[in-house]
Amino acid sequence: DADVTQTPRNRITKTGKRIMLECSQTKGHDRMYWYRQDPGLGLRLIYYSFDVKDINKGEISDGYSVSRQAQAKFSLSLESAIPNQTALYFCATSDPGTGTSNEKLFFGSGTQLSVL
């Protein structure tokens, strides 16, 4: 079983619809992240959470919201989807280990979202 599981794997929706992408992890990590990947642009950080009570905006949070329901669950919502939110979305987790520096990220398999 995957350590970081994203659902759904693929989703097609229409402009204006609300949609939720879900992420769950069995790694026991406190830190969770949502990134989006667009061709030629690499990965950009949307939101991140360092523990259940901590939510932080990333580089491109406009149009998105998140919920950290438990240590293991971090969901991303698009309140009113628009076509330029069509992208590949990744959830990731990390364990900071010692100190404040981030350690490596563990990624889910991604959700391909298409907004028509």
Partner 1 sequence: SQQGEEDPQALSIQEGENATMNCSYKTSINNLQWYRQNSGRGLVHLILIRSNEREKHSGRLRVTLDTSKKSSSLLITASRAADTASYFCATDLNSKLTFGKGITLSVRP
Q: Which residue in 14, 17, 18, 104 binds partner 1 (CB under 8 A)? A: 104
Residue in this structure with the two tokens 């030629």, named with its chain if needed:
40
Nearer to partner 1, 20 or 60 (CB): 60
Task: Tally the residues of the chain.
Answer: 116
SS3 of residue 97 by DSSP: coil
Q: Which residue in 62, 70, 98, 101 binds partner 1 (CB under 8 A)? A: 101
Distance CA 60, CA 56 (A): 11
Which residues from 46-75 bind partner 1, rule CB under 8 A? 48, 50, 58-59
Residue in this structure with the two tokens 């991303």, named with its chain if needed:
76
Q: Given CA atoms 25, 105, 87, 71 in this order, what sign does their dihedral have?
A: positive
Q: Which residue in 21, 108, 113, 115 binds partner 1 (CB under 8 A)? A: 108
Give the interface with partner 1 as residue ranges (CB under 8 A): 4, 31, 33, 35, 40-45, 48, 50, 58-59, 88, 90, 92, 96, 100-110, 112
